[in-house]
């Protein structure tokens, strides 16, 4: 699934506060590199040196946008934040790149955001009616405006962030940089992950623990849902005014697909969660087969879990070419399908003449899955049984995952028999909605958002328009104006 853009990633955020002026930009670069799986459209870094913020951002991968020359242009400093983006709202990759840097009468501010607001359209309209001029179509700019508005009425930037949380709704993990502070905030339901670490005398905030590991930093703890954490020369201060107001709702698809296998989110190991998903699949869908294989990368752990539970041997049936760019960048479906063949190669000796159980993280629109099945059939697989370590995608997501309508969802539009026929498989199976809520191996973690599978949303979906439709309309109007 993850080969052709059937589902697009979230964003990744990273921030560092050092007790002395140094080359913090390079450390952010390494942090972003480890979070690249969360977004490949654009990236950026902003550095604060004595209140002067320098930034650089562009469309592209981290190692394409940044080199020694561009990093050298970012002045040394004590604070820096970075962002990798796949946009869930806003279309222009370069225009909507983050961090967003804001100038206002109380100083400068830079902001990086992971998530999706549910009241973006209403807030944008309200701000525009009061004279605000937007330069992007991203809801992150809406957050920046709301925080700035509150900052003009607050005694500190952290107070402004707390007050802004009374206004914005939906999913947001924020890292914000003021002239003297690094601030991290997470929405009261904790849809998206955010954690705190320490590297010698530096504090680090990141979307995932794998970014801490990349720098050799020590994991301290997760930022709590609803928490506003402030880091400055005085150390750490936490405001928990918004904590425990809502039930925890970490996106369960973070465990299934978004996060990297070596990360731990809110006390739940991603690798073990995917292994559990595979074990549940084996119990729910017992199949007589010769080999279990997974689709790289996020389907591999679930395939191992299925093999371990069922006793059927696990095999490396598909090899991923890691030197080909993400195929969802290609605009034409025909190009995507060709790139699947280039990106995934079958190991014929593993699948030839075998009854194959193929495990992937999910099926969204079905095009990628059908292409992978064709690859295995061409390599000589006698049978192909397709299993998804996620339940059926049946409903739109409004909290950051790029599923904005039911119209394109494969499982919504087809019965199991129709899916079997269209994919060219011998059988198909999905993880149950009941067991997807049991992926945590931590007894203290029980709350997940699985609305894209169940239709049970933790908070009200957007009222005025669906996810991304508002920004699409803005882009369409902009294009019409350009043509005129």
Q: Check: CB of residue 265 under 8 Å from CB of residue 255.
A: yes
Residue 172 three-state SS = strand
11 is catalytic: yes
Q: What is the dihedral of CA 280, 286, 290, 292, to 10 degrees?
A: -20
Instruction: Return the exposure string of 418-439: e unless at least 16 CB atoms fall within 10 Å of the residue's CB, then b.
Output: ebbebbebbebbbbbbebbbeb
Tokens of 484: 């005129």
The separation between the first and the last C-alpha atoms of the chain, rounded to the nearest angstrom, is 40
- Strands across the sheet containing 12-22: 52-59, 42-49, 77-85, 12-22, 202-206, 195-199, 218-222
Instruction: Return the exposure string of 153-183: e unless at least 16 CB atoms fall within 10 Å of the residue's CB, then b.
Output: ebeebbbbbbbbbebbbbbbbbbbbbbbbbb
Instruction: Give me the catalytic one of 11, 162, 210, 452.
Output: 11
Tokens of 355: 């009854």
Query: H or E element: which one contains 277?
Result: helix 270-284
Tokens of 218: 């020590």
- Dist CA 10 CA 88 (whole Å): 8
Q: Check: CB of residue 233 under 8 Å from CB of residue 243.
A: no
| Cα angle for residues 328, 334, 337 (degrees, 5° grid) | 60
317: nearest Cα among 391, 366, 380: 380
**Cα torsion angle, 418, 398, 98, 264, sign:** negative
State the CB neighbour count (10 A cutoff) for residue 441: 13
Query: H or E element: which one contains 73?
Result: helix 68-73
Which residues are known to be catalytic?
Answer: 11
């Amino acid at each position: 699934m993850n080969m052709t853009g059937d589902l697009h990633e979230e964003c990744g955020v990273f921030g560092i506060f050092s007790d002395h002026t140094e080359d913090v930009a390079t450390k952010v670069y390494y942090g972003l590199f480890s979070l690249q799986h969360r977004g490949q459209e654009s990236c950026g870094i902003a550095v604060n040196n004595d209140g002067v913020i320098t930034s650089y951002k562009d469309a592209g991968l981290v190692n394409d946008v940044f080199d020694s020359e561009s990093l050298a242009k970012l002045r040394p400093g004590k604070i820096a934040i970075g962002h990798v983006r796949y946009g869930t709202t806003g279309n222009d990759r370069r225009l909507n790149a983050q961090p967003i840097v804001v100038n206002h009468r109380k100083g400068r501010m830079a902001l990086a955001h992971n998530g999706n607001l549910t009241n973006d359209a209403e807030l944008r309209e309200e701000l525009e009616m009061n004279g605000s001029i937007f330069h992007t179509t991203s809801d992150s700019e809406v957050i920046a405006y709301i925080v700035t508005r509150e900052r003009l009425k607050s005694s500190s930037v952290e107070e402004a962030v707390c007050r802004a949380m009374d206004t914005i709704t939906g999913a947001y993990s924020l890292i914000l940089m003021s002239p003297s502070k690094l601030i991290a905030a997470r929405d009261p339901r904790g849809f998206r992950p955010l954690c705190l670490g320490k590297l010698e005398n530096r504090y680090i905030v990141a979307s995932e623990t794998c970014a801490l590991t990349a720098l050799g930093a020590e994991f301290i703890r997760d930022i709590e849902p609803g928490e506003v954490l402030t880091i400055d020369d005085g150390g750490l201060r936490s405001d928990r005014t918004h904590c425990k107001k809502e039930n925890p709702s970490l996106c369960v698809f973070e465990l299934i697909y978004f996060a990297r296998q070596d990360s731990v989110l809110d006390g739940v190991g991603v690798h073990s969660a995917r292994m559990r998903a595979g074990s549940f699949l084996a119990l729910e869908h017992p199949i007589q087969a010769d080999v279990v294989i997974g689709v790289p990368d996020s389907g591999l752990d679930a395939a191992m879990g299925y093999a371990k539970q069922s006793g059927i041997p696990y095999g490396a049936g598909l090899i991923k070419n890691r030197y080909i760019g993400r195929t969802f960048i290609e605009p034409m479906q025909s190009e995507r399908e060709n790139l699947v063949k280039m990106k995934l190669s079958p190991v014929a000796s593993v699948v030839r003449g075998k009854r194959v159980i193929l495990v992937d993280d999910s099926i969204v629109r079905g095009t990628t899955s059908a292409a992978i099945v064709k690859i295995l059939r061409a390599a000589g697989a006698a049978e192909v049984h397709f299993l998804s370590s996620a339940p059926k995608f049946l409903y739109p997501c409004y909290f950051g995952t790029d599923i904005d309508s039911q119209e394109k969802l494969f499982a919504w539009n087809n019965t199991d028999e129709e899916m079997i026929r269209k994919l060219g498989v011998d059988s198909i199976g999905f993880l149950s909605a009941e067991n997807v809520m049991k992926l945590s191996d931590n007894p203290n973690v029980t709350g997940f958002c699985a609305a894209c599978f169940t239709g049970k949303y933790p908070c009200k979906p957007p009222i005025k328009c669906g996810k991304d439709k508002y920004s699409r309309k803005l882009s369409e109007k902009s294009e019409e104006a350009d043509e005129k």
